Chain A
Amino acid sequence: MRRFSLIAVPYFWLLVLFLVPFIIVFKISLSDTALAIPPYTPTLDVSTGWEGIRNFFAQLDWENFTFLTTDDLYWKAYLSSFRIAAISTLLTLLIGYPIAYAMAQSPDEWRPTLMMLVILPFWTSFLIRVYSWMGILSNEGFLNQFLLWTGLISEPLQILNTNKAVYIGIIYTYLPFMILPIYSALEKLDASLLEAAEDLGCSRITAFWLVTIPLSKQGIIAGSFLVFIPALGEFVIPSLLGGSKTLMIGKVLWEEFFSNRDWPVASAVAVILLLILIIPIVLFQRNEQKQREAEGQ
């Protein structure tokens, strides 16, 4: 019984916070748009009994999904989101790894402080932090003023409202999600393994490639998924920092929902986004599982 209730909690959580909303969104994606409250039809009317329920199901169809294939906007947006998320993940890894590495190498008494510094940004609202980047990156912003002052540039750099700003925003926002799992992998790394590698003929650099990197692989994978998955569906960062040409599926979704008021098509876009995300999520879960097994031994 106790065992059952232990398992029941996460499943209940999953059911309420994932499955039920998904079913609702999925149902809307099979509906038709309407000028009404709510703005789609059919709605489930239980008062007419079985007849009503049968009617309800009869009116659902896949029309919105076929519509998505008629316009190349959608797959281009998915693809562009995928590319932006992938590049951001790679850049976050390239920046996050050395930080995590330095943290893991630092003296024990520094580590809580360094960890704190990594987590500290979370104490401020995400929105405020993204807004402050607008202040930093704009033409008259701190960065340009500083670079102009140093004489490195003579004309302000156009960063805000371009994809560059989107990358900066995503990297900045998700960097802690990359650092923390890598740090925890590196922290566990036995320093004698590196000495052993050196003892067996490796230089410091080859020891890093042959021992440190493979042994922090789980952290790299976990961090990459933690960055990639939210970055793929990111809406706030591209809409605040990106330009009009920044095409991401989150923005397309917003437009379907708010500009076109087409909740059914918006839901169809969301359902497909979720299906795309399920692949990396499942891979991520399997990685975690593997790691648990390896540690359990």
Chain B
Amino acid sequence: MAETVFAPWNDDSATPLIQFKNVTKRFGDFVAIDNLTQDIYAQEFFALLGPSGCGKTTMMRMLAGFETPTEGQILIAGQDMAGVPPNKRAVNMMFQSYALFPHLTVAENIAFGLKREGKPKPEIDARVDEMLRLTRLEKFGKRKPHQISGGQRQRVALARSLAKAPKLLLLDEPLGALDKKLRQETQFELMDIQEKTGTTFVIVTHDQEEAMTVASRVAVMDEGRIIQVSTPADIYERPNSVYVADFIGDVNIINGHATRAGDGYDIAYAEGAAKLHAKTSTDLGNEGKCALAIRPEKVSITAKKPAKSVNAVSGKIIDIAYLGNLSTYHVELEGGQMIKAQTANTRRLARRTFTWEDDVWLSWTDTAAIVLEG
């Protein structure tokens, strides 16, 4: 392989840019961050993903210097950040509200941080022009923030936070205020800019799709802890818990009892129903409670029982969600368990095979399902 994969977290010799060392943050009785240890490497695009209140914003604000850890240490480039105020950190933040100064023009907003450094004016002007170009805002430099669109404001905020060429850029829900289409476009723009500038990005988001799209690694958080850190593909394909599996994308969870069988487990999930089989490296011992996570797109739907499939169950279509490119079938198994199956709509609507109340077979391979601790 000629091309090296960007994965410093797998390289023992790489030194992390950011180190959280047993960091705990309490607000009164509330534990926002619970004894958290995590490394983030230079040039990473690191996403903190989780529901509101999970502690992701607190982590970011501690990096920016707006909050101080109650216990533990945060290091940036090896330097302990304790007692370093926000204005003395080589870290810039793009705020969720953008926090553009309404009394300053777009260009003045971008120049704001540069002026504080006391740089000569021509240098500042050149840098502002560069930033305006980078974010395609050349025409809007003289406008006030209230005179431009939401998407343009987002780009001004980005340009302003990048203007000082920080080592680390923090993005707090950067795309939250944009509509979906614009959001998708902007996601790629963000990645592009991140790549061009080589800046380390830490993004906070509650939108799993956004995290999956932009990030090199995603940290899924819950109640002040990081549940899983991995690449987007790993998070999706190999979640380490029901929480992560459920949080990322759509998933069917089947609870049951596992008994070791071959290189995996046989899972009994309903009385009288045939056991399911899944290959896995997860070790549950010889037997134990388990949860089976199967992505809907990995479930095939057929009218007749497939001949070869290891796992096949029958049921009745209760609901069909037509999403244009995809259709999701909600199928009720005999025991009452609901399973979602997704198919790509490669054919026109009129020739769709299944409809409500049809009896169908669902099937998946023995590697499609992930065995998790129940």
Q: Bound complex: CA of A210 vs CA of B147, how far in Å?
A: 21
**A152 is an interface residue with CB less than 8 A from chain B:** no
Give B residues with C-beta under 8 Å from A.
64, 66, 85-87, 91-93, 95-97, 99, 101-103, 112-113, 116-117, 146-147, 160-161, 164
Q: Which residues of B contact A217 (CB under 8 A)?
A: 103
Binding site of A, secondary structure by majority: helix, strand, loop or mixed? Answer: helix
Q: Most B CB atoms within 10 A — which of A192, A198, A200, A215?
A: A200
Q: With A196-B93, A297-B146, A297-B147 in contact, is A201–B99 under 8 Å at CB? A: no
A196 touches B99 (CB 8 A): yes
Number of interface residues of A (CB under 8 A): 20
Binding site of B, secondary structure by majority: helix, strand, loop or mixed? Answer: mixed
Q: A56 → chain B, closest Cβ, in Å?
A: 55
A199 touches B97 (CB 8 A): no
B87 touches A202 (CB 8 A): yes
A214 touches B92 (CB 8 A): no
Q: Which residues of A contact B103 (CB under 8 A)?
A: 214-215, 217
8 A-B pairs with the lowest CB-CB distances in the bound complex, closest first: A200-B113, A201-B116, A196-B99, A192-B99, A297-B146, A198-B86, A214-B103, A201-B87
- B116 in complex: contacting residue of A192, A195, A202, CB < 8 Å: A202
- B64 in complex: contacting residue of A199, A202, A211, CB < 8 Å: A199
- Name A190-228 residues within 8 Å CB distance of B: 190, 192-193, 195-203, 206, 210-211, 214-215, 217
A199 touches B116 (CB 8 A): no
B95 touches A200 (CB 8 A): no
Q: Which residues of A contact B160 (CB under 8 A)?
A: 200
**A1 is an interface residue with CB less than 8 A from chain B:** no
Give A residues with C-beta under 8 Å from B.
190, 192-193, 195-203, 206, 210-211, 214-215, 217, 294, 297
Q: 11 other contacts beyond A190-B99, A195-B99, A199-B113, with CB at 8 A cut-off?
A: A190-B97, A192-B99, A195-B66, A195-B93, A199-B91, A200-B87, A200-B113, A200-B161, A202-B116, A214-B103, A215-B102
Q: Which residues of B contact A214 (CB under 8 A)?
A: 103
Q: Which residues of A contact B96 (CB under 8 A)?
A: 192
Q: A172 → chain B, closest Cβ, in Å?
A: 32
